[in-house]
Amino acid sequence: MIPFSPPYIDKEVIDEVVDTLQSGWITTGPKVKALEEEIADFIGIPNVLCVNSWTSGAIMVLKWLGLQEGDEVIIPAYTYSATALAVIHAGGKPIMVDVDDDFNMNPEMFRNAVTPKTKAVIPVDFAGYPCKYQEIYDIANDSKVIQLYNPTSDIQKKLGRILVLSDAAHSLGARYQNKGIGHKADVAIFSLHAVKNVTTAEGGAIAINMPLPFSNEDLYADLRLMTLNCQTKDAYSKSQGGNWKYDITGLGMKINMADLNAAMGLAQMRVYPELLQRRKEVFERYLKNFEKIDWIICPNMHFEGKESSCHLFPLRIKGITGNQRDAIIREITNLGVSVNVHFIPLPMLTFFKGLGYDIADYPKAYENFITEISLPIYPQLTDEEINKISSSIISSYGKVVETYAKIVG
């Protein structure tokens, strides 16, 4: 069986983890700091804070923003559930909007969804392909949108407009306007979960890029404190001796990353440019294999000044039903290839249906979903495996569509 998304674990990763185990310090300390610096250098944003997941990082940033009951945060309907759950955990209400053909948030639908209760927007770089940041940023800064803005916390007043919080869970290594993700957002959060391009098993990295008069350095320190129960001295500095006094200055969370986890990501970041290059080669080989097949819609790689981090390869099959897509996946699985579907739109999931969201309001999300199949993409894949995966798609499609043609008559 060709696995869908195994983590990248080579000797360097193992050595770095063992080194941490032998160092006598396993939780937040020098390795987390080193990983933050690696990521900061890589994306070109100086203040990066590591936490134990994307989800907890997003909850913290929204709590810091001061969401109150009834406050609205605009998100795409086509995303992983965490995007919406973080908003709810922080006390807000997710307002879902439909997506475009590239699976990313439609900026005009964002504009139309803005109300005096809107406090943030969370666009998603689906599959690692950057969303329309310039358009989204321009809407957040549009004088008509700012007229509607009704800040209810000091931070919101200081910002003076809707916060642009990027769900960059997929897009570490993507480029937008020739820069790393996070430059056209106030805050961007990357996920370092086990299936993501770079992983610490579980983890997240928050790139802090707030406009003036915010100081991103101060903000890094404040948010870091908030990840550690707002305790003025972390365990590492207390361990240094004679440094036992501390205070608790607010209601924090306990969502810091451990050095043991950071060690994995640190070793991966050192070779990430090469890993990313191989991902791009895998992506390009798929594009080439499917070049002449008119029923496959391939995802974007570079287009409109954007460059994907090639996190997923979400292909779509023209004109099929959801049942046919499911049957094709069963055939592919029988041929020894693991594929996936990203994502089931949020309004189709029980919890969100119960809150009143209805998939009928998101026709593009639905159409993208029923025709989508995500293929394996990771640096360890060989060319033979890529070719095997490609031909399994083609033969499975043939088999299913022929069978349906016979049934239908």
Ligand X SMILES: *Cc1c(COP(=O)(O)O)cnc(C)c1O
- The footprint of ligand X on this chain (CB under 6 A) covers a number of residues equal to 14
Q: Which is nearer to ligand X, 205 or 386 (CB)?
A: 205
Q: Which is nearer to ligand X, 2 or 169 (CB)?
A: 169
H or E stretch at 392: helix 383-408
* The only residue of 80, 103, 137, 313 in contact with ligand X, by rule CB under 6 A: 80
Q: Which is nearer to ligand X, 119 or 193 (CB)?
A: 193
Q: How far is the CB of 165 from ligand X (least distance, A)?
A: 11
Is residue 193 within the footprint of ligand X (CB under 6 A)?
yes
Q: Which is nearer to ligand X, 53 or 390 (CB)?
A: 53
SS3 state of residue 287: helix
CA gap 350, 118 in Å, rounded: 25
CB proximity list for 65: less than 8 A, separation 6 or greater:
90, 119, 120, 153, 155, 156, 163
Burial of 383 (0-12, 13-18, 19+ CB in 10 A): exposed
Q: Which amino acid makes up residue 185? A: A
* The only residue of 48, 59, 82, 96 in contact with ligand X, by rule CB under 6 A: 82
Stretch that binds ligand X, among 60-68, 75-83, 225-233, 265-273 (CB under 6 A): 75-83
* The only residue of 20, 28, 83, 392 in contact with ligand X, by rule CB under 6 A: 83
CA gap 378, 373 in Å, rounded: 16
H or E stretch at 96: strand 93-97
Stretch that binds ligand X, among 17-25, 80-88, 133-141, 348-356 (CB under 6 A): 80-88
CA torsion 366-127-191-88 (nearest 10°) is -20
Burial of 80 (0-12, 13-18, 19+ CB in 10 A): buried
H or E stretch at 97: strand 93-97
Is residue 167 within the footprint of ligand X (CB under 6 A)?
yes
Q: Which is nearer to ligand X, 261 or 324 (CB)?
A: 261
* The only residue of 35, 45, 90, 124 in contact with ligand X, by rule CB under 6 A: 124
Q: How far is the CB of 143 from ligand X (least distance, A)?
A: 31
Q: Which is nearer to ligand X, 8 or 80 (CB)?
A: 80
Q: Which is nearer to ligand X, 130 or 204 (CB)?
A: 204
Q: Which is nearer to ligand X, 266 or 312 (CB)?
A: 312
Place of tokens 């919080």: 165
Question: Helices 363-370 and 322-334 meet at what angle, rounded to 10?
Answer: 30
- 187-191 and 204-208: which strand pairing? antiparallel
Q: Which is nearer to ligand X, 79 or 309 (CB)?
A: 79
Q: How far is the CB of 240 from ligand X (least distance, A)?
A: 31
* The only residue of 47, 79, 256, 268 in contact with ligand X, by rule CB under 6 A: 79
Restricting to residues 240-279, which ones interact with ligand X according to CB under 6 A? none
Burial of 385 (0-12, 13-18, 19+ CB in 10 A): middle
* The only residue of 204, 299, 314, 379 in contact with ligand X, by rule CB under 6 A: 204
Is residue 309 within the footprint of ligand X (CB under 6 A)?
no
Q: How far is the CB of 123 from ligand X (least distance, A)?
A: 10
Residue least distant from ligand X (Cβ): 54
Q: Which is nearer to ligand X, 188 or 315 (CB)?
A: 188
Of 264, 67, 271, residue with least CA distance to 155: 67
Q: How far is the CB of 180 from ligand X (least distance, A)?
A: 18
Q: State the DSSP code for 4.
A: S
Residue 316 φ/ψ, nearest 5 degrees:
-125, 150
CA 131 distance to own-chain centroid: 11
Is residue 169 within the footprint of ligand X (CB under 6 A)?
yes
Restricting to residues 43-72, which ones interact with ligand X according to CB under 6 A? 53-55
Q: Which amino acid makes up residue 292? A: K
Q: How far is the CB of 125 from ligand X (least distance, A)?
A: 8
Is residue 369 within the footprint of ligand X (CB under 6 A)?
no
Interacting residues with ligand X (CB under 6 A): 53-55, 79-80, 82-83, 124, 167, 169-170, 191, 193, 204
